[in-house]
Amino acid sequence: MKPLLDTLRAGTGYLEKHSVDEARLNMEHLLAHVLGCRRLDLYLRFGEILQEVDLEKLRGLTKRRADGEPLQHLLGTVDFLGLELISDHRALIPRPETEYLCDLLIKRYGKSPPARVLDMATGSGCIGLTLASAWKDSQVILADISEEALDLARLNASRLGLERLQVLRSDLFEKISGTFDLVVSNLPYIPTGEIPSLSREVRRDPILALDGGADGLDMVRRFLADAPSRLAPGALIALEVGHDQGHLTASHASGLGYGAAEVKADLAGVERFVFADAPPVV
């Protein structure tokens, strides 16, 4: 048996040797998970002697983290704008950039949320579920081509008490009917050739959710070409794209007749969000 602080230091060193970024923070999360407490509570328990059963569980999790398994998968959940979402191999890990996109949309609409919302390529459901939680009267549909991802989205919807949402399998707009006031999407946008150079953790995400074709914009171009028929007059599209794709995407949208295409930055100043109005009805 070892004191908590010694265990934390030893685990941090082990993760550092295996090139895990923010090794100390990772160990704190794993240790808090094993002990069933908040991470900050660890600082009040540094002298506590850990039981062997807890140490054994921690060793297993630390080894898996050192082997490149994402922290979010080991913890099983991720906090996303105040919602606790299940996170596993079935979909992209919800990320802070996408969280900020949801925050931008909620603030943009204020007290007048859109009536019908489509979360295309929903993955874990993080975007659609967050918007549905904020906009109680909006009809929100979650769509994805991956049945595994949709199973995860359904699970998250159930845990949040949002079973009223419609969840359906569709290759982009193939099975989508009706029109929407907001269509939001975080499509695959990684160029195929860059995927082997991604971090070990990101490569654990489904390849279907990563691979955007030769230049990363194959799915984005398809989306922009097909979306107008599913947009109500005055509707908005909101896209998350790669770090260098914002202005290319906005330019392409403008070329297709979308109105007022604009690029917005994330919290790191990276221009990765594209907002555009529906093309005018001819």
Q: Where in the chain is the domain with CATH 3.40.50.150?
A: 78-277
Buried b / exposed e over 55-84, threshold 16 CB at 10 Å, is eeebeebbeebbeebbbbbbeebbebbebe
**How high is the pLDDT of residue 1?**
72
Q: Looking at the DSSP assignment, which residues form a beta bridge with residue 275?
A: 238, 262
CATH of 4-67, one of 3.40.50, 1.10.8, 2.160.20, 3.30.70: 1.10.8
**How high is the pLDDT of residue 151?**
97
Which residues line the annotated binding site for S-adenosyl-L-methionine?
144, 186
**Contacts of 273 by beta carbon, 8 Å cutoff, 6+ apart:** 101, 104, 238, 239, 240, 241, 246, 263, 264, 265, 266
* Predicted confidence pLDDT, tens digits, the chain (282 residues): 789 999 999 999 999 999 999 999 999 999 999 999 999 999 999 999 999 999 999 999 999 999 999 999 999 999 999 999 999 999 999 999 999 999 999 999 999 999 999 999 999 999 999 999 999 999 999 999 999 999 999 999 999 999 889 999 999 999 999 999 999 999 999 999 999 999 999 999 999 999 999 999 999 999 999 999 999 999 999 999 999 999 999 999 999 999 999 999 999 999 999 999 999 876
**How high is the pLDDT of residue 89?**
94
Superfamily of domain 78-277: Vaccinia Virus protein VP39 (3.40.50.150)
**How high is the pLDDT of residue 282?**
60
Which residues line the annotated binding site?
144, 186
Give this prediction's pTM. 0.93
Q: Where in the chain is the domain with CATH 1.10.8?
A: 4-67
